[in-house]
Amino acid sequence: MPKKPSDHNGAIFNEVWTALDKGYVHFNKVPISWDSVKKIYTPVFADSINTQQVYDSLASMLNTMLQDVNVSLNSGFATSYYSERWKYPANFNKGLLEQKYWPGYEQTGGLLYKVFDSVGYIYYRSFNDVVSDEQMQVVIRRLKGNGAKRGVIIDIRDNAGGDPANMKVFFDHMGLDSNIGYDYTTFLYEIAYKKGPGHEDFENYKGAYTEKNSNLKFPGRIVVLTNRGVTGTANVFTSAAKSFNNVKVMGDTTGGGGAVTSSFELSNGWILTYPSARMRDGVGTGLENPIPPDFYVPMKKADEDAGVDSIFEAAKLLLVKY
């Protein structure tokens, strides 16, 4: 049933503070105690301030105190979220790719693909773009049929995440073909859900795996291209892809923010979204953290000015040479 809108700004602030107090999972990384945040900000939300000021104050509190790319506030007239993307080089030029690399591409669903010098290339803009198993099989068959024998580049630069179900479709077709005898179950990550309102009330971590399967696999080895614009589900994908012995990550460190998120509707209709489970890789590193590549390769300005994508070319060279 619809909630009765609150007439008091302080009540809206308390809804936000309480929802996070019970559900947010990274208080172990917040610079000050959450109780202190309540004391500091309660006086700000006097009934004398207007709706815009309430939104701006909440957004400022969330971005300053939590600094979490998975925390957002959607008021209907604006959405606030934390980002450090602007601090780093782009290491991605979509216009260059469209002009110099993508002409003649094919597209199936959300996957744009082409073959360069016996190397397959797939660009995936967002994990919110639905990819079915059938579509992935079409792409792999087309790549193989067009001569992609050396391997495949999967370009997820500037991919801000989305639906984890699409991530699973990729994993089901990664690894080596079972007919050469190296197919096996692959560990991806571990996840711990909250079991109570306390800041450290968590269930035990449980592993997520890609089961051994006979699915059609990408040809050869795989290089995943990343930059600081890779966040959320794309960040999880980057970490988990490293679990496959035929996968390397190249480009820049990701932007972090791998998480399962939950959303809470405030009584005024605004939507608060926050991470509601902890995720980590096989050595215990939280997937909310940025992930370094196996090979750091920046975009060189001289290359870019000459119409060359430095990161793509380095990945292609790696696959062709070895």
Could you report the per-residue pLDDT of 134-163, keeping only the tens digit for each? 999 999 999 999 999 999 999 999 999 999
Amino acid at 187: F
d(CA 166, CA 184): 21
Mean pLDDT of the region 195-222? 94
Residue 193 has pLDDT above 90, yes or no: yes
Residue 214: pLDDT band with limits 50, 70, 90: confident
pLDDT tens per residue, range 257-274? 999 999 999 999 999 999
DSSP designation for 307: T
Give the three-class secondary structure for 120: strand
Instruction: Give tens-digit pLDDT for 87-138.
Output: 999 999 999 999 999 999 999 999 999 999 999 999 999 999 999 999 999 9
Mean pLDDT of 9-19: 97
Mean predicted confidence (pLDDT) in 23-51: 95
The CB-based long-range contact list for 242-247 (8 Å cut-off, 24+ gap) reads: 242/281, 242/294, 243/186, 243/187, 243/188, 243/282, 244/174, 244/175, 244/186, 245/175, 245/176, 246/174, 246/175, 246/176, 246/220, 246/221, 246/222, 247/174, 247/221, 247/222, 247/223
Whole-number pLDDT of residue 7? 62
Amino acid at 129: D
Q: If you average pLDDT over residues 40-69, what whole number do you get?
A: 96
Pick from 63, 67, 13: nearest CA to 38: 13
Question: Is 182 a residue whose pLDDT tops 70?
Answer: no
Q: What is the pLDDT of residue 213?
A: 84
Q: Which residues contact 85 (CB under 8 A, 6 or more apart)?
A: 228, 229, 255
Chain-centroid distance of CA 166 in Å reads: 12
**What residue ranges define each of the domains in the chain, with the CATH number in brackets?**
9-83 (3.30.750), 86-258+275-321 (3.90.226.10)
pLDDT at 71: 96
- What local confidence, expressed as pLDDT, does residue 5 receive? 55
| Bridge partner list, 155 | 123, 225
User: 98-120 burial by CB neighbour count: b if 16+ within 10 A, else e?
Assistant: eeebbeebeebbbbbbbbbebbb
Q: How sure is the predictor about 185, in pLDDT bands with cuts at 50, 70 and 90?
A: confident
Residue 201 amino acid letter:
D
Distance CA(26)–CA(276), nearest Å, equals: 9
Average pLDDT over residues 50-59: 97
Distance from C-alpha of 113 to C-alpha of 192, rounded to nearest angstrom: 36
Reference 73, options 129, 15, 159; nearest CA is: 15
Instruction: Place 300 in a pLDDT band, splitting at 50, 70 and 90.
Output: very high
- CA gap 92, 229 in Å, rounded: 9
Q: Closest Cα to residue 164, out of 208, 194, 206?
A: 208
Separation CA 118–CA 26 (nearest Å):
44
Tokens of 247: 């996968």
